Chains A and B, each alone.
Chain A
Amino acid sequence: MPDAPLGQTPSQTVGPFFGYALPFPGGPQVAAPWHPESIRLHGTVYDGAGDAIPDAIIEIWHADSAGRVIAERGSLDRNGHTVTGFGRSAVNRAGEFEFSTIKPGSTRADAAPYILVTVFARGLTHHLFTRAYFGDEVERNEGDPFLATVDPLRRPTLIAAPDAQNSYRFDIRLQGEGETVFLDFDAEIYG
C-alpha cells in the first residue's frame, strides 16, 4: 500500500538578495554566441505600473534542435561546447535579461517549438512559468494545440518577436496591460 501523498513544501519569494548566490558564470550562455546555430533571447521584465523590475531572475529550459530532451551535464561549469538546455540570467538595473542559446525543435509532431521560461523576483511569492514561442514559426504556432487554447488577444505575449538576425525579444509583464500569459501545470494546487 502506498503511503498517503506527502505535503508539498511551500514556496517563498526569492527575495532581493539572490544576486551574489544564484547567478553563475556562463549562466546566460546556454550556447556560446559563436555557436553556428546560436540565437539571442532577450527582454525586459515589467511590473504593473509599467516600470522595469531590477530584481528578477529568469531561467530557461528547452529541448535540443531536434526537439529531444537534453541529458548533458555541465550547466554550472560550461565547457563552451556542450548545450545543456538550461540557463539563468539575473536582470540588470534596467530589468533586462539576455540569453545566448540555440533554437529548440518541437517536442511533438503537432506542437510548435518553445523555450520554457521561469520568473523569480522580489515580491513574487511563488515563481511563474511561461513559454517563449518563436514569431518566425507562424504556421507551427497556428497549429499548436496549446496556443489554440489561449485567448487570441493574449496569445502574442507568448511569442518571442524576431528583432534582428537570430535575435528574439520576449518581454515579460507581470501585471496589467499586456500581462504575460503564465502557466499552471497543476490546476489541483490552486483549486
Chain B
Amino acid sequence: MPNSTAENQETISEEIAAIHAEHSARAEAAGRPLSAHPPRNFAPYRSTMLRHPTHELVRADPEEIELVSPAFGHTDVAAEENDLTIQHSGEPLGERIIVTGRVLDGEGRPVRNQLVEIWQANASGRYVHKRDQHPAPLDPNFTGVGRLITGDNGEYRLTTIKPGAYPWKNHRNAWRPAHIHFSFFGSAFTQRLVTQMYFPGDPLFGLDPIYQSIVDPAARQRLVAQYDHDVSEPEWALGYRWDVVLTGPRSTWMEPEDSDHA
C-alpha cells in the first residue's frame, strides 16, 4: 500500500550520497582504504537507526575457539538440499538458474567442508514468510531455502530460480534489487559472514539503501554474480558465477606455534 507521508527516493538518495562522500573524505584524510563492510550506522536504511551500537567496538584478540569454526560435514546436510527446484511435487515457476563459485580465505586458500545456507524470494518477489505482506503470489512448488557443504576446493553449486525484486517500506516506492541471501562459515568463527548476492545490471542498485550501505564501490561490486556461459546448461538453466572471500582478522594467519599462548 503506497504511503504518501513517507520520504521519497530523492531524500534517501541524497542521504546515501552524503554518507558516501563523508566516508571517502575520512578514509582519504587518514590515508587508508574504505572498509569492505558497511557501516552499522547507515540512516538511509531506516531500521539501522535504533539498532547500531554508538560505542566503538572493543578490540579483542581472538582466542583459539574464535579461530576455528564448528565442524560441519556431509552428514549434516543432504546432497539434494542444494537444489531449490526439487523440493515439491511440481516445478517452481521462474527462470531456472545455477549459481556456482568458490569460498576462499584472503590468501586464496579454499574454505573446505563448511556450511553454506541460502534463502530467497520466489520469481514473483515473495518470501515464504508469514511477515511478508507483498501482494505477489506464493509458489506452491518453491520454498526458497537451501544449504550445502563446500567441497575440497571450497566450491559450491546450487540450482534455483531467479528471485524477483520486491517492495519494502523503508521509504516511498522502495524496491529491493533481486538477491539471494547467503550465510557462510569460514575456517575461523571470526570470518562468519551473512550477505546477499545480486544479479548483474540491476537498475535498482543505485537506489537501494541496503546495497548502498557498502560505501566502497569495489566492495559493492563483489556482491554481484557474473553471468557465465560455461556454467549455463543447454536446454536447462542459465549460469552465474560468484566467488566469496572471507578474510577475518589478520591473526587468523598466525600458526599456533607462533602464538604467545601456544
Contact = CB atoms under 8 A, between A and B. Distances in A.
Nearest to A5: B106
B183 A123 contact: no
Contacts of A9: 36, 193, 195, 222-223, 244-246
Interface string B18-48: 0000000001001010011111101001011
B45 A123 contact: yes
Interface string B190-229: 1011111000000000000011011010111011000000
Interface string A9-23: 111111111111110
A111 B107 CA distance: 31
Contact of B117 (A21, A63, A72): A21
Nearest to B64: A107
Interface in A110-131: 111, 116, 118, 120-129, 131
B73 interface: yes
A128 B219 contact: no
B223 A69 contact: no
B127 A186 contact: no
A124 B195 contact: no
Contacts of B181: 12, 14-15, 17-18, 21
Contacts of A7: 36, 218-219, 222, 245
B248 A126 contact: no
A191 B36 contact: no
A15 to B, nearest CB: 7
Contacts of A149: 58-59
Given A3-B108, A6-B245, A184-B59, A123 B50 contact: yes
Contacts of A47: 50-51
B55 A181 contact: yes
A17 B222 contact: no
Contacts of B89: none
Contacts of B38: 10-12, 125-126
Contacts of A19: 129-131
Contacts of B144: 21
B50 to A, nearest CB: 4
Contacts of B190: 129, 185-186
Interface in A163-191: 174-176, 179-191
A108 B62 CA distance: 12
Nearest to A189: B35
Interface string B167-191: 0000000000001010100000110
Contacts of A86: 70
B220 A10 contact: yes
Contact of B115 (A16, A76, A124, A182): A76
A35 interface: no
Contacts of A111: 63
Interface in A12-62: 12-22, 47-49, 51, 53, 55, 59, 61-62
B60 interface: yes
A85 B70 contact: yes
Given A11-B193, A11-B195, A18 B36 contact: no
A18 B196 CA distance: 12
B238 interface: no
A8 B247 contact: yes
B91 interface: no
A12 B223 CA distance: 9
A70 B54 CA distance: 34
B2 interface: no
B64 A10 contact: no
10 contacts: A5-B107, A9-B222, A10-B38, A20-B129, A22-B117, A61-B69, A74-B76, A126-B40, A127-B192, A184-B60
Interface of A: 2-3, 5-22, 47-49, 51, 53, 55, 59, 61-63, 69-77, 84-86, 104, 107-108, 111, 116, 118, 120-129, 131, 146, 149-150, 154, 174-176, 179-191
Closest 8 interchain pairs by CB? A123-B47, A21-B119, A184-B57, A186-B249, A86-B70, A123-B51, A48-B50, A76-B76
